[in-house]
Amino acid sequence: MTTIDIDGMSCTGCEDNVTDALGELPEVESASADHEAGTATVEGDADLDAVVAAIEDAGYEAST
């Protein structure tokens, strides 16, 4: 399990956007996001750079 810090999420809709973006990566087995904590949790063998890129492509700032 990998936890990514995310800036810019302000609601549950943002959580859905991040989760949907991560779910499109074939190596992600499951993903969840928490706007209050400002994090996303990813399970699977996804490349960390691909995870960060997917979050940033969804419009949020991501860091490990």
| 32-51 confidence digits (pLDDT tens) | 999 999 999 999 998 899 99
**25: Cβ contacts below 8 Å, ≥ 6 apart:** 44, 46, 50, 51, 54
What φ, ψ does residue 3 adopt, rounded to 5°? Answer: -110, 130
Record the pTM.
0.90
Q: How confident is the model at residue 64 (pLDDT cuts 50, 70, 90)?
A: confident
